[in-house]
């Protein structure tokens, strides 16, 4: 092979290596930025609690990264030294302790132990103060929301001292920006865990026991939450959204949610309502303002105002709703809703009615 | 050789039986099994016990009977029948049956309702869930296989688990009871 060809090959190889490195860097960048932004990330805090947790996380990340690099550097140095020593070809075991080396070794080990203890102590203090800060939002005047975890969805009840002002919804929690809300968490079947990475958590939901979590959002936005404790077949599909909005918007939303369901506006919706009341729907669901009042499944009074169905699994569209009603077991096997076979016209009427429940 | 064959057959049978006990019908096959019992049955009904037409397969299936137990709470059977001891409605944990204790008689009782209180759930509960409920109701008086009936409750135990209920001889089946007679 001639010299120019060889140099050409090596240039090509260099380019390949350079491209591969560039791709790696790009992938790393994409992965880290994807983790740092987004509506479900502890690295993109939107409230004081999540902010404190993420600061603790970054502290641990930087310290651990420095320790890791130091350890690797010392390891590399040790390997290089050993290679130099073995070049002398001394196979005989080292039985004569070298006083100078022993002294140096003692110094290094003592130093390492001292540094480790100091680092762990700093972590201890930092995590203690972070934990304390998570309880600082507690206040009896906060807005109270009761969250009941169930296989596999979230029942959300806005509490009020006036009974008629309370209402229930599901899988969607609205909170006012800049105000702390108190979440009272419980479960009616197995242990779940409430986690909105951008705002706070996790906190376990335990059957027969109540736990409390305080949330505060500083930025308006929609944040995704997820069950963080394995709770059965559809644990992965037990999500919810937290919508943080300005106070006026929040109050308007709450007013709308308190109202009973809108009566059917036309003949098709009227038929849909009849289908709802005469089919298995009525055995489990509530639509306030109608005869449907069962409480084991999500309250559908304002179903059309929600962004998702099936606990954050599917966007709330007519198509998804139709598929869900017809045979939810194909979409989310094991969930508690039975397939509801309806005549096509009945199904369409029912969907029109459900879509009118704004 | 003979022994090996027998062993093989026996273990195969055991496996098949175990399958039935553990089978989880999450994706019930619509529309046949998920059919909602909306068809009006004949108005004419013989007063006596109807012959058993087909066994309820759910009576060998632990998952189905546990689902039945859950639905018993969810659909508020508890409201009248309590946890089997009865109250407004007759007790279900004894072996006394007013309208018959065969699976399809219980199915008919749930779907059609009975005079003096038992509402009709026609159109409200899918067929397969009624069969699950019927299997569970029969497990309350020990009428189904012990290895598949539900064990202890999830919450506070108010009665013996279905699994440790002694099988009782069904009695009082058939005939129109006094409580269901039309006022003359």
Task: Note the pLDDT tens digit of each residue in B10-37.
Answer: 666 655 555 677 777 766 654 344 556 6
Cβ–Cβ contact A278 with B under 8 A:
yes
pLDDT at B135: 92
Structural domains in chain B, CATH included, are 57-176 (1.10.760.10)
Residue with the bigger pLDDT between A17 and A142: it is A142
Contact residues, chain B, for A334 at CB < 8 Å: 24, 26
Cβ–Cβ contact A293 with B under 8 A:
no
Cα–Cα distance measured from residue A82 to residue A74, given in angstroms and rounded to the nearest whole number: 12
Phi-psi region of A37 (alpha: psi -120 to 50; beta: other; left: phi over 0): beta
This model of the complex carries an ipTM of 0.77
Residue with the bigger pLDDT between B95 and A279: it is A279
- Contacts with A325 (C-beta within 8 Å, 6 or more apart), sequence order: A281, A340, A342, A347, A350, A351
Nearest to A215 by CA among A1, A49, A3: A49
pLDDT at B98: 86
Average pLDDT of chain A, as a whole number: 88
Average pLDDT of chain B, as a whole number: 77
Nearest to A169 by CA among A183, A158, A185: A158
**C-alpha torsion angle, residues A266, A268, A271, A273 (rounded to 10):** -70
Contact residues, chain A, for B24 at CB < 8 Å: 334
pLDDT at A209 over 70: yes
In this prediction, residues A103-112 reach a mean pLDDT of 91
CATH 2.60.40.420 range(s) for chain A read 38-77+104-256, 267-355
pLDDT tens readout for residues A231-259? 999 999 999 999 999 999 999 999 999 99
Write down the architecture of domain A267-355 according to CATH: Sandwich (2.60)
In this prediction, residues A315-321 reach a mean pLDDT of 94
Cα A226 to Cα A52, A174, A194, A195, distances in angstroms: 20, 16, 7, 6
B28–A338 CB contact, under 8 Å: yes
Cα–Cα distance measured from residue A279 to residue A342, given in angstroms and rounded to the nearest whole number: 9
Least confident window among A68-72, A136-140, A142-146, B81-85: A136-140
Residue A200's pLDDT band (cuts 50, 70, 90): confident
Residue A2's pLDDT band (cuts 50, 70, 90): very low
In this prediction, residues A264-272 reach a mean pLDDT of 94
Cα A346 to Cα A187, B21, B125, distances in angstroms: 35, 37, 17
In this prediction, residues A204-219 reach a mean pLDDT of 93
pLDDT tens readout for residues A269-282? 999 999 999 999 99
Token pair, residue A61, equals 């990340």
- Contacts with B92 (C-beta within 8 Å, 6 or more apart), sequence order: B81, B84, B86, B137, B140, B141
Residue B96's pLDDT band (cuts 50, 70, 90): confident
Token pair, residue A4, equals 């120019």
A283–B30 CB contact, under 8 Å: no
Q: Is A192 helix (H, G, I), strand (E, B) or coil?
A: strand
Which of A278, A326, A329 comes nearest B26 by C-beta? Answer: A329
Residue in A closest to B29 by C-alpha: A339
pLDDT at A24: 66
Cβ atoms within 10 Å, residue A252: 12
Q: Which CATH class is domain A38-77+104-256?
A: mainly beta
pLDDT at A317: 94
């Amino acid at each position: 092979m001639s010299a120019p060809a060889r140099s050409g090959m090596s240039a090509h190889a260099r380019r390949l290596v350079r491209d591969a490195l560039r791709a790696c860097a790009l992938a790393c960048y994409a992965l880290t930025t994807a983790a740092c932004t987004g509506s479900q990330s502890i690295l993109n805090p939107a409230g004081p609690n999540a902010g404190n947790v993420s600061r603790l996380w970054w502290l641990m990340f930087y310290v651990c990264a420095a320790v890791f690099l130091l350890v690797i550097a010392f390891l590399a140095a040790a390997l290089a030294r050993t290679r130099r020593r073995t070049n002398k070809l001394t196979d005989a075991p080292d039985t004569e302790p070298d006083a100078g080396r022993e002294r140096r070794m003692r110094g290094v080990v003592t130093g390492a132990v001292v540094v480790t203890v100091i680092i762990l102590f700093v972590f201890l203090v930092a995590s203690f103060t972070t934990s304390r800060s998570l309880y600082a939002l507690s206040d009896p005047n906060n807005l109270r929301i009761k969250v009941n975890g169930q296989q596999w969805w979230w029942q959300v009840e806005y509490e009020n001292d006036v009974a008629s002002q309370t209402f229930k919804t599901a899988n969607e929690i609205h909170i006012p920006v800049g105000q702390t809300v108190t979440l009272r968490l419980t479960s009616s079947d197995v242990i779940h865990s409430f986690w909105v990475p951008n705002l706070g958590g996790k906190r376990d939901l335990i059957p027969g026991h109540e736990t409390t979590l305080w949330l505060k959002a500083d930025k308006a936005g929609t944040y995704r939450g997820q069950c963080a404790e394995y709770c059965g077949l559809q644990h992965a599909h037990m999500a919810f959204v937290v919508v943080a909005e300005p106070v006026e918007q929040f109050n308007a939303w709450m007013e709308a949610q308190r109202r009973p369901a809108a009566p059917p506006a036309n003949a098709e919706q009227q038929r849909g309502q009849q289908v709802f009341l005469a089919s298995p729907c009525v055995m489990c669901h509530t639509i306030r303002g109608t005869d449907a009042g069962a409480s084991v499944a999500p309250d559908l009074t304002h179903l059309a105002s929600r962004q998702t169905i099936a606990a954050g699994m599917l966007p709330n569209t007519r198509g998804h709703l139709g598929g869900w009603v017809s045979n939810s077991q194909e979409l989310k096997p094991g969930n508690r809703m039975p397939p509801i076979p309806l005549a096509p016209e009945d199904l369409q009427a029912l969907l029109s009615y459900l879509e009118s429940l704004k | 050789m003979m022994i090996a064959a027998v062993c093989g057959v026996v273990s195969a049978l055991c496996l098949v039986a175990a399958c039935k006990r553990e089978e989880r019908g999450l994706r019930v096959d619509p529309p046949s099994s998920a059919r909602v019992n909306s068809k009006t049955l004949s108005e004419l009904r013989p007063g006596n016990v109807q012959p058993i037409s087909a066994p309820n397969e759910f009576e060998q299936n632990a998952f189905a009977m546990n689902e039945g137990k859950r639905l018993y709470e969810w659909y508020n059977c508890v409201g009248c029948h309590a946890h089997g001891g009865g109250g407004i409605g007759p007790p279900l944990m004894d072996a006394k049956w007013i309208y018959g204790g065969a699976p399809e008689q219980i199915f008919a009782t749930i779907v059609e309702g009975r005079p003096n209180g038992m509402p009709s759930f026609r159109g409200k509960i899918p067929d397969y869930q009624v069969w699950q409920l019927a299997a569970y109701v029969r497990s309350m008086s020990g009428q189904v296989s012990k290895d598949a009936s539900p064990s202890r409750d999830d919450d506070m135990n108010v009665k013996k688990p279905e699994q440790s209920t002694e099988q009782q001889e069904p009695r009082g089946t058939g005939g129109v009871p006094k409580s269901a007679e039309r006022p003359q």
